[in-house]
């Protein structure tokens, strides 16, 4: 079960964290995997690129060495799968189109798209939110997912098979104090997933959203050290009293990409350890 042999997957924002784990998981299931990210470790302009994203997290990732694009591709090749790491900015439509065409030409198909690329470092109340950061978040989190989906769509229609995964969040289903831009964009990608599901059905394309809670990525683990009291409170709001791991999210994605999930589309699969249940009970 859950065999992805012969499938080609493309994952955005896959240099670290959830995206990297998604890539490795799909490869273990048999897929060839294309790693895309704005950060690639052998890029001579890596520092300039990281700073140019106007994202604190991207610059921290570069400084901390959390850029594993080529390393992940090499790990996948050691599993006997095809893989390559490609620099791609999801907000650059021309670049997205070029990368999708390159992958189609070199790998023969694109069966799976995981829209994972996102930014989460704009924390401010509505009254204090910076317009430029709002626009950046919409461009990356929402429009970026749209750009990639639009460019891969003709290939999936032509082959009459596709799986599109949109990364949402508990912030997109519940809202988030001081996270207006992140919450709004993550709620919007849920609607985008449902629309893609409606339009993709006759082409055997499924589209689903994953809504994680707090997952122990590099950035989340660092944030938990500096904001211990806040993260302790988050942890207590899960039924397990612990945060999730990237592998939990990746396993859910692997299932939704499989043949066995071929009749599941337009859904939001919550991977939040019951965090939403306890939050609802506290409000009640």
Q: Distance of CA 119 to CAs 140, 142, 240, 267, Å? A: 7, 10, 27, 23
Q: What is the mean pLDDT of the chain?
A: 92
Domain that holds residue 162: 8-283
> Distances from the Cα of 247 to the Cαs of 12, 40, 244, in angstroms?
17, 22, 8
182 is known as an active-site residue: yes
Measured CA to CA in angstroms, residue 38 lies from 49, 55, 142 at distances of: 7, 12, 16
In which band, very low, low, confident or very high, does the pLDDT at 284 lie, cut at 50, 70 and 90?
A: very low
The closest of 102, 82, 86 to 37, measured between CA atoms, is: 86
Residue 1 belongs to some domain of the structure = no
In a domain, 255, yes or no: yes
Identified catalytic residue from 131, 182, 231, 255: 182
d(CA 25, CA 72): 11
- Residue 243: which CATH number? 3.40.50.720
Asked if the structure places residue 3 within a domain, the reply is no
- The more confidently predicted of residues 259 and 49 is 259
How many Cβ atoms are within 10 Å of 266's Cβ, its own excluded? 17
Query: Average pLDDT in the 141-155 region?
Result: 98
Which H or E element spans position 66?
Answer: none
Res 279 pLDDT > 70: no
- Number of domains composing the chain: 1
């Amino acid at each position: 079960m859950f065999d992805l042999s012969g499938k080609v997957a493309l994952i955005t924002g896959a240099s670290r964290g959830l995206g990297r784990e998604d890539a490795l998981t799909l490869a273990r299931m048999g897929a060839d995997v294309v790693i895309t990210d704005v950060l690639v470790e052998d890029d001579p302009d890596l520092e300039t690129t990281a700073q140019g994203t106007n994202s604190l997290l991207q610059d921290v990732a570069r400084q901390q060495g959390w850029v594993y694009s080529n390393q992940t591709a090499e790990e996948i090749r050691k599993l006997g799968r095809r893989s390559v790491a490609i620099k791609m900015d999801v907000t650059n439509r021309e670049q997205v189109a070029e990368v999708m065409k390159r992958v189609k030409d070199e790998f023969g198909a694109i069966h799976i798209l995981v829209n994972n690329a996102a930014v989460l470092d704009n924390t401010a109340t509505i009254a204090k939110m910076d317009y430029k950061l709002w626009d950046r978040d919409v461009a990356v989190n929402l429009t970026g997912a749209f750009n990639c989906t639009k460019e891969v769509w003709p290939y999936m229609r032509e082959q009459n098979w596709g799986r599109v995964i949109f990364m949402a969040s508990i912030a997109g289903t519940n809202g988030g104090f001081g996270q207006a831009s992140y919450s709004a964009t993550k709620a919007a990608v849920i609607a985008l997933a449902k629309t893609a599901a409606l339009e993709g059905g006759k082409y055997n394309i499924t589209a689903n959203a994953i809504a994680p809670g707090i997952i122990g990525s590099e950035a989340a683990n660092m944030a938990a050290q500096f904001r211990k009291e806040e993260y302790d409170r988050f942890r207590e709001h899960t039924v397990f009293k612990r945060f999730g791991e990237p592998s939990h999210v990746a396993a859910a994605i692997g299932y939704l990409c499989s043949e066995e999930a071929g009749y599941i589309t337009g859904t939001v699969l919550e991977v939040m350890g019951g965090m939403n249940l306890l939050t609802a009970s506290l409000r009640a």
